[in-house]
Amino acid sequence: MHNTAIKHLSLNYIYLPFEVKKENLSIAIRGLKGLEIKGMNITIPYKEDVIQFLDYLEEEAELIGAVNTIKLERGSLKGYNTDGNGFIESLRIDAHEDVRGKNIIIFGAGGAARAIAIKLIVAGAERIIIANRTIERGVKLVEYINSKLSHQNSKFLKAISLKDRLLIQYIREADILINTTPVGMKNNLEPLFPYDYLSDRHMVCDIVYRPLKTRLLQEASIRGARILNGLGMLIYQGNLSFKIWTGYEMPIEIVRKILIEELEKRNSEVRSQKSE
């Protein structure tokens, strides 16, 4: 994604992956200064751990309590979080969906759910239900968000278990459903919830992009719901990081085309291996 944008814009950069062991995390982050690396992305499980090694946090990253983008600027390391904005951008641009005044259910209570929930509240969502397998984790997420957004406590925010009988009622009333769990990446036929309650009133999102159409999205589409996969979130959060480092916007549609081609190629290879 980033190298496609770099090549298209003829920039003198290269984007490389580095696998870092937990015990070497501080050394790796300090290495940005020593090597004068422009910046980097941070993926799970280090989005929270890296904060202690940074000099500054952008407001969004401080609010979310996690960093996915670091920039070296005038000898200092500044942390950003583009995940929540990446999702909101995809919802707005790809799905033409405005979250203001909407009732929303988020499935999962991890880092992605936290970033997305906070951005949805700030953007004006009316009600957010955090539905998670373990209620305790969902409650902790709600408590964290309330501690950060106490000035917006007029919004209705609640955590429930996936087995709670009230979930069906909340699904019936929901405008937008968002899956932030990795269930769509697994060969798991057990549904997150009874999909028969989906209808054409719903916007159903899955932040997974491998596969592009998870079982949740397939079932939602069959029942007339509008759907959105995680490819747009990947691209828009990447674009925000790219702009932080370079000052340039990614050529979004060129990047999207390359990513789809690569994903289809990998899916084809997987199917070929299974048939052998």
pLDDT in tens, 103-135: 999 999 998 999 999 999 999 999 999 999 999
Q: What is the dihedral of CA 184, 134, 169, 145, to 10 degrees?
A: -90
201 and 112 in a single domain? The answer is: yes
Task: For residue 189, tell me if it sits in a domain.
Answer: yes
Q: Taking the mean position of all CA atoms in its chain, how far away is CA 85?
A: 9
Q: Give me the mean pLDDT over the 239-268 stretch.
A: 94
69 and 112 in a single domain? The answer is: no
Query: How far from each other are the two terminal CA atoms of the chain, in whole angstroms?
Result: 31
Active site residue 47: yes
The pLDDT assigned to 48 comes to 92
The pLDDT assigned to 183 comes to 82
Strand partners, 176: 104, 203
The pLDDT assigned to 271 comes to 63
DSSP 68: S
Residue 101 and residue 124 in contact, taking contact as beta carbons nearer than 8 Å: yes
Number of structural domains in the chain: 2
Give the integer Cα–Cα distance in Å for 205 and 193. 14
Write out the two tokens for 164: 């709670």
Task: For residue 243, tell me if it sits in a domain.
Answer: no
Residue 262 and residue 1 in contact, taking contact as beta carbons nearer than 8 Å: no
Q: Taking the mean position of all CA atoms in its chain, how far away is CA 1?
A: 16
Residue 222 and residue 214 in contact, taking contact as beta carbons nearer than 8 Å: no
162 and 225 in a single domain? The answer is: yes
Which position has the token pair 């373990």?
Answer: 134
Q: Average the pLDDT over each of 212-216, 239-243, 246-250 and give the range with the smallest value.
A: 212-216
**CATH number of domain containing 76:** 3.40.50.10860
Catalytic residue among 47, 71, 102, 119: 47
What's the domain range around 10?
A: 2-81
Give the integer Cα–Cα distance in Å for 51 and 38. 17
What is the CB neighbour count within 10 angstroms for residue 11? 15
Q: How confident is the model at residue 188 (pLDDT cuts 50, 70, 90)?
A: low
The pLDDT assigned to 185 comes to 73
182 and 144 in a single domain? The answer is: yes
Q: Give me the mean pLDDT over the 238-247 stretch.
A: 98
One-letter amino acid for residue 234 of the chain: L
Q: Which residues contact 72 (CB under 8 A, 6 or more apart)?
A: 32, 33, 36, 37, 38, 39
Give per-residue pLDDT as tens, 150-167.
766 556 899 999 999 999
Q: How confident is the model at residue 266 (pLDDT cuts 50, 70, 90)?
A: confident
Backbone dihedral angles phi then psi of residue 104, each to the nearest 5 degrees:
-130, 140
Give per-residue pLDDT as tens, 47-76.
999 999 999 999 999 999 999 999 999 999
66 and 102 in a single domain? The answer is: no
Task: For residue 59, tell me if it sits in a domain.
Answer: yes
Write out the two tokens for 166: 């009230």
The pLDDT assigned to 8 comes to 97
30 and 109 in a single domain? The answer is: no
Give the integer Cα–Cα distance in Å for 106 and 28. 34
Task: For residue 273, tell me if it sits in a domain.
Answer: no
117 and 180 in a single domain? The answer is: yes
Give the integer Cα–Cα distance in Å for 177 and 107. 8
Q: How confident is the model at residue 274 (pLDDT cuts 50, 70, 90)?
A: low
pLDDT at 276 over 70: no
Residue 178 and residue 105 in contact, taking contact as beta carbons nearer than 8 Å: yes
Which position has the token pair 């405008």?
Answer: 175
Domain boundary among 55, 81, 107: 81
- What pTM was estimated for this model as a whole? 0.92
pLDDT at 187 over 80: no
Domain boundary among 81, 115, 132: 81
- 90-105: buried (b, 16+ CB within 10 Å) or exposed (e) per residue? bbeebbebebeebbbb
